[in-house]
Structure 1
Amino acid sequence: MTTAAVRHVLVIAAQCAAMGELTRLNEAARELHDALTDPDLGGCRARTGAYPSLLTGDDLAPEDVDKSVNAALQQARADGAVLVLALLGHGFTPPQSSELYFMVGGSTPQSPRSALDVGHLLTQAADEPGVDGLIAIVDTCHAGGAVPNAARLAGGVRAGRSRLAMLTAAAADQPARDLSLSRSLTRTLKTGVPGAGPAVYVDRTLAETLRDQVSGQVIGRAEYDQDPFPLEGLWLARNPAHTANSRADTVGSLGLQDLRDSVELWRGPHRSPRRVTRTALRELRDFVTSGQVDDERRPDAREDVEDVVTGLLEVFRTKEFLTDALADSLSSDLLRSARRLAGFPSLAAGTVDGATEGAVESSVPLRDLLEHAVLRTRRRREAQWKGLARFVTALFHEAGLPRTHPGLQAWARRLDVHTEVTDAYAEFATDQRRRALRLVISLAGAWTEWPEEVDAWLLRGGDDLPLHQRFRCETSGSHSTAQAIGAALRWARRELPHPELLEHIDIAAPAHLLARWHPEEEKVGRYLLGARYSVVPRWSGRLDEAEDNAEINDAARKALRKLAAAPAQVKWIGPAALDDRSALEYRLSIGQYDTAVGVDHCPQDLEEVLELFLPFAPIVLWPRGDARPAAHRLPELVRERWHELPDGLAAAYRSRWQAHHDCTACLGDLRAVWHDEAWLEFCRPFEHRVVTAPEEEA
């Protein structure tokens, strides 16, 4: 069931002085109108103004009804929409005739001209060009007489290419009592029709459901369909009783946006779907591939619609495969780690980033990630499923499953993505080895100025103990420190077997150096250190001999878990908060800043500010002192590019060094001290006052 963004409704409830007051008329009309305009049920657009979508009164004239119907038809025509028209009140059939007349304020059974010929009214409405279909609900006595003559429908300006579905409250020779059709229909739309599928249609199932609820009058239905190219099925409402209407079986916001854009490009505005299920996608696919469509705006855009629909159908199919294949490991943590490994932004994760810690994730966020993989990662002239293959591979890799997993092999075979899966596995394994291979350089001994010596540890991953070496600084200053770092790099290269290459360096320094020193800008050998390595600054305080190291590191681990569940939740601190240090220290002591902390400016006393925050926050951010004019946009940039951090800062710094004059805000203006899980694991031996190298020096 594709659900158009615009559907129109007109509910008319007219009292008639000659026939006596219907005490429940206004209530029944209002409740039916509410159900039909409920976005989760009828999905019709409510209107106010001169021609509202709910018209009631005891003094309505035939021309009032005519004008309202004409106005509703013009709206439906302009939007290419379905019109749902409901007539509630009194009706009569003239002697020797079965044609129904709808009665208004001054109508009498003796004067057909004082009332409205419902069959004629519905025939003209169904024949209106541009209207995608008419659904009529007639709740009056003798309502069966409202069904138009088929010969009338077969002619007209559309030559019979129109659609009409009707519900009638009683046979042509029967009275209708207590507005039973309207009231029963409203209840049914709200509760749903078991077994009716994702949508409620004016079909045998609905008619029998209503007949079971109403006695003493025969609920009738009629259908006429001669339109070969409708936008969608002529549905009356969504079916709450159908499990496929749950959120997990609908297209996500990203997929819906792409579907909306492509359909509107193809067939013009107001043709866009609003809420789409898997069944609806299949119907739309059949419609797109069916052949000639009379009202195409951009025929060449049909292929885009087909691509989006095909992609979204694959999302449902792959979601089912993953839910089954990864049943024992598909958690919010797995989805987050796979998202990061695949290189997807946090916005692609939908609600997965806000999931409760430790909760097993439902398939809805998985759907959002799959939609991103299908719709947002494909580059021009790339294989259609390359991005999807990368994300699915990331899930299996992070779950610890091999490339030869039978389910993954079958899935790759079906989509012909064996090469993409193999390449992604190789890339992830290589990246894992590279990240595990790190050189840690500590300037922990620089208590006041520059250190007299630096410690270096070479971490190679796995269970191997890190190698340790100490290098002396000949003099005091950044140049001598850079020379010692260069000596550490030469030592590390000698220790590494061919063909391993070092790419990641951690520099641990005290707060006074972190506040004014940019280690990646030091020239070490022929290059700046950051030109060839990804340099991540750390705080050396976690390596000091201190009783509270275990406490602050445990707090950091909890904060990192919180950040993993809700990434980019940086708490930014302004000048006003920094001015009141005692209040700030109190908030830190009660755990208020138990996440990443960002200082939104570069304070004069940055060293003291870092000393304040570094024991409490695992990640501290601030702008450079010479940041670009729009540095106030850094919080926005951090939120947008959080998934790239901290390694993405290396590329940002390199860009900043080059010609970047037209950039008013740059991620390269951001300074960061970053303590992730890997760093906290490296710090674990120091939590027990082990201040020498983890491996004893020779």
Structure 2
Amino acid sequence: MTDEQHRHVLVVGAQCTAMGRLSRLEKAARELHSVLTDPALGACVPRTGEHGSLLVSATLTTDDVRNAVHEAVRCAREDNAVLVVALLGHGFTPPQQTDLYYMVAGSTTGSTMSALNVGQLLTEAVDEPGVEGVIALVDTCHAAGGMPDAGRITGGVRAGRARLSVVTASAADQTARGMRLTFALAKVLRNGIAGAGASLYADGLLVRSLRSRIKGQAVGRFEYDNDPFVAEGLWLARNVRSAAGAGGVVGPVGRQDLEEAVSMWRAGMRLPAPLARGDLDGLLTFAREGQVDDQADPRWRDRVVQVVETLLTCADTVSLLNTTLADVLSSDLLREARQLAGLPPEAEGAELLRGLVEFAALRASGLDEPRWKAPARFVAALAELCGEAGVDAELRQWASGLGAVTEFNDARTELARKRQQGELRLVVSLAGALTGWPEEVDAWLVGTGEPLPVHERFRCGSADLMGTGRAIGAVLAWARERLPSPEQLVNVDIAAPAHLLACWQPEEARVGRRLLGVNHDVVVRWSGRMDPAEGNGEMNDAARKALRGMAAAVAVEWIGVSVLDDRQGLEQSLMTGRYDTVVGLDHHPDSLQDALEQLLPYAPIILWPRSGTRAADALRALVQQNWRSLPDGLPAAYRRRWSAEHEDCGTCLGDVRAVWHDEAWLEFCRPFEQRVVVGPEEDC
């Protein structure tokens, strides 16, 4: 449903031999036609051919103009469109009358039959069933005489159920010069009007703007509006000086769903942009009460009502959250709530809060689920993250108003448990593996509520892959014994030196009967950031600063073969801060260990393709598309890669390897930065 499909135009510029040639007529007509057919401005559909949308000539007859008008009306009728008609040139009013007659090549002021009655033309156009409205622009002498008699419209076949706006260049007893109205109008439409909203109308604001530019002529207007069954005002052009989205209460998700429902219900109906609260209220009334014809599908009308009611509730919810959470609301909080509530990354729109609320309300609930379950879950996630009793009470009252208290309370209970589970992590360090596999591993249980993480050391039995897997299995058993029922351990951090990171996928370590990543979400870390060596505190502080400065949509700095081969140049770039956040290798280097050892002290996040992955462009696109779900989305992607479905897929997110150091990990590393290393005591 686009504006270009629902707006037609006819610009006529007729020279009259008896009145003298107008030197600026053709230029004015072409400029106005260009503005009105500009998709970003007038958005009217241009036509070519015998009765095209631009008709400029010194030989036009009354039949030529009348046929062109009839063709434009026919096109508007077939498309249920608005018709914009502009008549430029000469005009006259007979003695003792104010009716305007538009003059063509053979017209004279002594014969009304040699010209066209403008008021009658406009009345016939606006009275044609299917035409959604007519906007007329009359730039002639005595132009105000072209305003039709409202009685003629109300007595027509549509019984007055029509819309008409007319802008005139001069009073009925006044001349117009130099096509001033047309040039001024084209300029105003191209430049826009500050404070006029998203669209420009043939209203008082437009006329005042034109009058400030046109001297010696009384620019006027006429408006007739007696059609209650329309969803959008009779706009002339989009306002290029309007603040994007100003006054709107509907985001892209809501608008898409509403446009789909409206187009299926009434194909000729358009929605204003942006959609204000009053637009939704009016559409709701129209959909509930307006019985315009027998062709409107009542099922889609019901769908329109449902979507509008949902969007009104979404608007109220956004307003409530902006007020209730004013002290804490931030982009980070909303994104954390989105993840906690289980909404996908695509739920985040340009206007973050509105996008999340609308997605939850319109896209996230299943067919057999309560209508407000997903929004209640998202709002419950915000309540959980805020942790304030007053906020929780206000948001529970919101849920009560929607009949969703049960869903809200269920979500609060589940999300509290999920959040606690997310904070519970098992850290397994293989830092003792200086060259091959370690002889022992260290383990810490984080998030148990104790002041310091619980620590234990485990022997591997054998310094190889199998021995390491057995040690990790012992660590898991130890961790489970320390957890109170019904807590479950999900998150496991594996910290390893660069030479193991280059050749080992920790989630594929066999622990007991299964691979580690089957029942656990494994995130890979570099054990070097836990090293108490001098300078590591500075390294981690630099990483903290870089992470806090990252934007929501991070641009990964991808490195190719030529950069990696120039080790000296790369080192210089690293030392000067070129690669201080996210580095991606666009290939799997033969010397991956060397690359990691050079990059890991600088970049807190490093990505590279699994060995054998060749589609570098696809890999970049996958990372960009899934960025906001990383690193949490990687464990699930690895599990999908193990499934039978992966056999037929190309490059996927499971082909991305990562070493990830977020702020939570750097905080875990902080005590190591402050550790004092003491040599063993000598025997006396």
Q: Give per-residue Cα distances to partners, 1:578-613, cap 9 Å, x unaligned.
A: 344443333333322233222233222222222222
Aligned partners of 1:374 and 1:387 also within 8 Å = yes
Query: In structure 2, what is the equivalent of residue 139 of structure 1?
Result: 139
Q: What is the letter of the counterpart of residue 467 of structure 2? A: S
Pair 427,239 (structure 1): closer, same or farther in 2 beyond 3 Å: same
Query: In structure 2, what is the equivalent of residue 286 of structure 1?
Result: 285
Query: In structure 2, what is the equivalent of residue 47 of structure 1?
Result: 46
Q: Give per-residue Cα distances to partners, 1:80-120, cap 9 Å, x unaligned.
A: 21112222332112345443211234432123343222123
Query: In structure 2, what is the equivalent of residue 118 of structure 1?
Result: 118
Query: In structure 2, what is the equivalent of residue 646 of structure 1?
Result: 631
Separation in 2 of the partners of 1:149 and 1:276? 33
Aligned residue for 1:350, secondary structure, equals coil
Alignment equivalent of 2:643, drawn from 654, 658, 663: 658
Query: In structure 2, what is the equivalent of residue 360 of structure 1?
Result: none
Q: What is the letter of the counterpart of residue 230 of structure 1? A: V
Given the alignment of the two structures, is residue 484 of structure 1 paired with residue 471 of structure 2, yes or no?
yes
Pair 198,451 (structure 1): closer, same or farther in 2 beyond 3 Å: closer
Aligned partners of 1:101 and 1:117 also within 8 Å = yes
174-183 or 431-440: which moved more?
174-183
Pair 485,204 (structure 1): closer, same or farther in 2 beyond 3 Å: closer
Pair 671,204 (structure 1): closer, same or farther in 2 beyond 3 Å: closer
594-603 or 15-24: which moved more?
15-24
Q: Give per-residue Cα distances to partners, 1:199-240, cap 9 Å, x unaligned.
A: 665567877887898787665544445545335333445678
Query: In structure 2, what is the equivalent of residue 318 of structure 1?
Result: 317
Aligned partners of 1:168 and 1:220 also within 8 Å = yes
Aligned partners of 1:83 and 1:131 also within 8 Å = yes
Aligned partners of 1:193 and 1:209 also within 8 Å = no
Pair 17,676 (structure 1): closer, same or farther in 2 beyond 3 Å: same
Deviation at 1:403, TM superposition (A): 6.9
Q: What is the letter of the counterpart of residue 389 of structure 1? A: A
Separation in 2 of the partners of 1:691 and 1:376? 56
Pair 285,35 (structure 1): closer, same or farther in 2 beyond 3 Å: farther
Q: How many residues align?
A: 674
Aligned partners of 2:194 and 2:241 also within 8 Å = yes
Deviation at 1:674, TM superposition (A): 1.4
Q: What is the letter of the counterpart of residue 276 of structure 1? A: L
Pair 467,393 (structure 1): closer, same or farther in 2 beyond 3 Å: same
Query: In structure 2, what is the equivalent of residue 528 of structure 1?
Result: 515
Given the alignment of the two structures, is residue 616 of structure 1 paired with residue 615 of structure 2, yes or no?
no
Deviation at 1:560, TM superposition (A): 2.3
Pair 404,216 (structure 1): closer, same or farther in 2 beyond 3 Å: closer
Tell me, which stretches of 5 or more residues in structure 2 are unaligned?
679-684
Query: In structure 1, what is the equivalent of residue 162 of structure 2?
Result: 162
Aligned residue for 1:506, secondary structure, equals strand
Separation in 2 of the partners of 1:412 and 1:176? 63
Separation in 2 of the partners of 1:35 and 1:401? 55
Aligned partners of 1:256 and 1:273 also within 8 Å = no
Deviation at 1:254, TM superposition (A): 2.7
Could you tell me the TM-score, scaled by structure 1's length?
A: 0.85
Q: What is the letter of the counterpart of residue 436 of structure 1? A: E
Separation in 2 of the partners of 1:240 and 1:527? 61
Aligned partners of 2:198 and 2:273 also within 8 Å = no
Deviation at 1:615, TM superposition (A): 1.8
450-459 or 612-621: which moved more?
612-621
Select the structure with the greater relative contact order (CA < 8 A; seq sep ≥ 6): 1
Query: In structure 1, what is the equivalent of residue 556 of structure 2?
Result: 570
417-426 or 474-483: which moved more?
417-426
Separation in 2 of the partners of 1:178 and 1:61? 23
Q: What is the letter of the counterpart of residue 433 of structure 2? A: A
584-593 or 205-214: which moved more?
205-214
Q: Give per-residue Cα distances to partners, 1:346-386, cap 9 Å, x unaligned.
A: 443334xxxxxxxxxxxx43223333222222221323332
Separation in 1 of the partners of 2:94 and 2:81? 34
Query: In structure 2, what is the equivalent of residue 359 of structure 1?
Result: none
Given the alignment of the two structures, is residue 7 of structure 1 paired with residue 7 of structure 2, yes or no?
yes
Query: In structure 2, what is the equivalent of residue 596 of structure 1?
Result: 582
Q: Give per-residue Cα distances to partners, 1:34-79, cap 9 Å, x unaligned.
A: 6656667x64326364466555455544344334434433442343
Separation in 1 of the partners of 2:28 and 2:393? 58
Alignment equivalent of 2:438, drawn from 436, 448, 451: 451
Given the alignment of the two structures, is residue 511 of structure 1 paired with residue 498 of structure 2, yes or no?
yes
Aligned partners of 2:5 and 2:45 also within 8 Å = no
Pair 691,296 (structure 1): closer, same or farther in 2 beyond 3 Å: farther
Pair 513,671 (structure 1): closer, same or farther in 2 beyond 3 Å: same
677-686 or 79-88: which moved more?
79-88
Pair 296,616 (structure 1): closer, same or farther in 2 beyond 3 Å: farther
Q: What is the letter of the counterpart of residue 625 of structure 2? A: E
Query: In structure 1, what is the equivalent of residue 487 of structure 2?
Result: 500
Aligned residue for 1:615, secondary structure, equals coil
Aligned residue for 1:622, secondary structure, equals strand
Separation in 1 of the partners of 2:556 and 2:342? 20
Query: In structure 1, what is the equivalent of residue 573 of structure 2?
Result: 587
Separation in 1 of the partners of 2:577 and 2:486? 46
Q: What is the letter of the counterpart of residue 618 of structure 2? A: R
Could you tell me the TM-score, scaled by structure 2's length?
A: 0.87
Query: In structure 2, what is the equivalent of residue 254 of structure 1?
Result: 253
Query: In structure 2, what is the equivalent of residue 683 of structure 1?
Result: 669
Matches within 5 A, 1:217-232: 221-225=221-225, 227=227, 229-232=229-232
Deviation at 1:132, TM superposition (A): 0.8
Pair 282,29 (structure 1): closer, same or farther in 2 beyond 3 Å: farther
Separation in 2 of the partners of 1:157 and 1:3? 27
Pair 365,104 (structure 1): closer, same or farther in 2 beyond 3 Å: farther
Pair 655,292 (structure 1): closer, same or farther in 2 beyond 3 Å: same
Separation in 2 of the partners of 1:124 and 1:549? 83
Pair 407,58 (structure 1): closer, same or farther in 2 beyond 3 Å: farther
Pair 637,293 (structure 1): closer, same or farther in 2 beyond 3 Å: farther
Aligned residue for 1:454, secondary structure, equals strand
Deviation at 1:540, TM superposition (A): 0.8
Aligned residue for 1:447, secondary structure, equals coil
Pair 367,34 (structure 1): closer, same or farther in 2 beyond 3 Å: farther
Q: What is the letter of the counterpart of residue 649 of structure 1? A: L
Aligned residue for 2:411, secondary structure, equals helix
Aligned partners of 2:265 and 2:296 also within 8 Å = yes
Separation in 2 of the partners of 1:32 and 1:429? 62
Separation in 2 of the partners of 1:171 and 1:113? 23
Pair 204,605 (structure 1): closer, same or farther in 2 beyond 3 Å: closer
Query: In structure 1, what is the equivalent of residue 660 of structure 2?
Result: 674
Matches within 5 A, 1:133-282: 133-149=133-149, 152-154=152-154, 158=158, 161-176=161-176, 192=193, 221-225=221-225, 227=227, 229-236=229-236, 246-247=245-246, 249=248, 251-268=250-267, 271=270, 275-282=274-281
CA root-mean-square deviation? 3.6
306-315 or 629-638: which moved more?
629-638
Separation in 2 of the partners of 1:582 and 1:52? 67
Q: Give per-residue Cα distances to partners, 1:214-273, cap 9 Å, x unaligned.
A: 787665544445545335333445678998x75363533333322222222223378465
Deviation at 1:434, TM superposition (A): 1.1
547-556 or 508-517: which moved more?
547-556
Separation in 2 of the partners of 1:26 and 1:370? 52
Query: In structure 1, what is the equivalent of residue 528 of structure 2?
Result: 541
Deviation at 1:516, TM superposition (A): 1.5
Aligned partners of 2:170 and 2:219 also within 8 Å = yes
Alignment equivalent of 2:618, drawn from 627, 630, 633: 633
Separation in 2 of the partners of 1:330 and 1:683? 29
Q: Give per-residue Cα distances to partners, 1:331-353, cap 9 Å, x unaligned.
A: 333333333333334443334xx
Q: What is the letter of the counterpart of residue 574 of structure 1? A: G
Deviation at 1:167, TM superposition (A): 3.4
